[in-house]
C-alpha cells in the first residue's frame, strides 16, 4: 500500500486501525487493518516495507489522516536478553498523532 492509498482509505472510512511494529534494530513496519479485517503493509519505498525512523513515519501518517496508531513491540527487552517470554502477548500502546 502506498501513502496516497492510505489517505483515500482513511477518507472513505475503510481503515479499522493502523499498527506500527517496532522491529529489532532495523526500523518500523506499518500494518493497516481494514474494516473487512484485511491487513495491508504501508511501504516506505518500492519493495521496502521498513521505515527507518519513527518521526518520519509519524509525520507521513499524520499527512494521510491517521490520528492515532497502535505501537507494538513483538519482542520485549527481556526476551532479547534471554529472560523467559511473557505469558500474555503485549497489548500495545496507543499513540496519538497530534
pLDDT per residue as tens digits for the range 18-49: 999 988 778 899 999 999 989 999 998 888 88
Give the residue carrying C-alpha cell 491517521.
66
* Greatest mean pLDDT among 5-9, 49-53, 80-84: 5-9
Q: What gap in Å lies between CA 68 and CA 89, rounded to an integer?
A: 21
pLDDT(90) > 70: no
Sequence-separated (6 or more) residues with CB below 8 Å from residue 54: 20, 28
Q: What is the average pLDDT score of the chain?
A: 85
pLDDT at 81: 59
Amino acid at each position: 500500500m502506498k501513502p496516497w492509498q492510505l489517505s483515500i482509505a482513511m477518507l472513505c472510512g475503510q481503515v479499522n486501525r493502523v499498527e506500527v511494529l517496532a522491529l529489532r534494530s532495523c526500523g518500523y513496519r506499518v500494518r493497516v487493518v481494514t474494516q473487512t479485517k484485511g491487513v495491508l503493509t504501508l511501504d516506505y519505498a518500492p519493495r521496502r516495507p521498513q521505515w527507518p525512523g519513527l518521526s518520519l513515519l509519524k509525520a507521513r501518517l499524520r499527512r494521510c489522516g491517521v490520528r492515532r496508531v497502535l505501537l507494538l513491540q513483538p519482542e520485549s527487552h527481556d526476551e532479547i536478553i534471554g529472560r523467559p517470554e511473557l505469558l500474555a502477548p503485549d497489548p500495545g500502546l496507543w499513540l496519538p498523532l497530534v
